[in-house]
């Protein structure tokens, strides 16, 4: 593919941190045949310049954006349930945990990033208006849902009273995919093993979205896709950290193909108007 003809895909992230996710996503998109640019609150790009968009992971979405107040009592109760042994382990491993969190997301779960919220919500809404292919990863899937009027679970502790909550960059979580979904056709596995780095998840899906993957056995939403757009998919896991999986790499191949279609569509419109 000629370099000039490669579609341009933007990848959003925070101004501080998030480098590991950016480089991993960039590598997979370039491998899939795309040009890639990083978009942050201080590195903005117009949606008109892009053929596709990845809304990356990171800080929790502010609950005010989906009509809720922050549930401090939920987080406080979760902290109180920690055993003394676990508290000691966390204390001893805190430097390593902090470093991993900074590399993967750039923020702690409780930290807000209102500038990034505003940037990404604007890009999602304009992208939907323009028919730009969208892939939401973790926080990105949640934000696509919020942009379409959906809500989130601020905390998932109630889902894991009997089943331990998995938090791992390794594919240790099992998810069941919806038959007939675009995501199932891309991943070609059912059930699939994925990683898990999130503390929130989609509750009520936004307008036009349908739930196409759930965690086993809790039923927590793990992926959504739009019924009406050619490519609007949100996954709760981090496919950029599973390059060994052909199915997960397939997500980036499918996004790049959809972005190439959008690029050709625009070129055709430009030629017809000239």
pLDDT digits (tens, 9 = 90+) for 224-236: 999 999 999 999 9
Average pLDDT value for the chain: 87
3-273: CATH architecture:
3-Layer(aba) Sandwich (3.40)
What gap in Å lies between CA 132 and CA 125, rounded to an integer? 10
Residue bearing tokens 């491993």? 93
The per-residue pLDDT for 97 is 47
pLDDT digits (tens, 9 = 90+) for 165-185: 778 899 999 999 999 999 999
82 or 164: which leads in pLDDT: 164
Asked if pLDDT for residue 93 goes beyond 90, the answer is no
Give the list of residues 6+ apart from residue 120 with CB closer than 8 angstroms, or none. Answer: 12, 55, 140, 143
Q: Which residues are catalytic?
A: 138, 238, 240
pLDDT digits (tens, 9 = 90+) for 47-86: 999 999 999 999 889 889 998 887 654 444 444 545 555 5
The per-residue pLDDT for 107 is 43
Which region among 17-26, 86-95, 159-168, 249-258 has the lowest average model confidence (pLDDT)? 86-95
pTM, to two decimals: 0.85
63 or 142: which leads in pLDDT: 142
In DSSP terms, 244 is beta-bridged to: none
């Amino acid at each position: 593919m000629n370099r000039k003809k490669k579609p341009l895909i933007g990848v959003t992230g925070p101004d501080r941190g998030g480098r590991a996710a950016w480089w991993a996503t960039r590598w997979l998109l370039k491998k899939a045949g795309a040009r890639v640019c990083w978009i942050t609150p201080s590195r903005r790009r117009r949606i008109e310049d892009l053929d596709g968009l990845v809304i990356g992971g990171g800080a929790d979405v502010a609950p005010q954006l989906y009509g809720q107040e922050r549930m401090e009592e939920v987080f406080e109760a979760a902290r109180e349930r920690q055993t003394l042994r676990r508290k000691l382990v966390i204390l001893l491993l805190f430097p390593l945990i902090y470093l991993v969190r900074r590399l993967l997301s750039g923020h702690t779960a409780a930290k807000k990033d209102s500038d990034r919220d505003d940037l990404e919500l604007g890009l999602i809404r304009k992208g939907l208006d323009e028919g730009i292919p969208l892939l939401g990863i973790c926080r990105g899937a949640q934000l696509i849902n919020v942009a379409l009027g959906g809500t989130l679970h601020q905390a998932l502790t109630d889902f894991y009273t009997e089943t331990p909550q998995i938090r791992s960059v390794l594919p240790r979580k099992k998810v069941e995919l919806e038959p007939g979904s675009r995501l199932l056709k891309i991943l070609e596995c059912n059930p699939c093993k994925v990683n898990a780095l999130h503390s929130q998840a989609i509750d009520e899906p936004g307008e036009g979205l349908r739930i196409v993957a759930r965690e086993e056995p809790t039923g927590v939403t793990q992926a959504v896709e739009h019924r009406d757009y050619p490519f609007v998919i949100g996954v709760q896991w981090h496919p950029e950290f599973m390059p060994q999986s052909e199915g997960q790499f397939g997500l980036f191949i499918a996004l790049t193909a959809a972005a190439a279609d959008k690029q050709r569509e625009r070129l055709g419109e430009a030629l017809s108007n000239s």
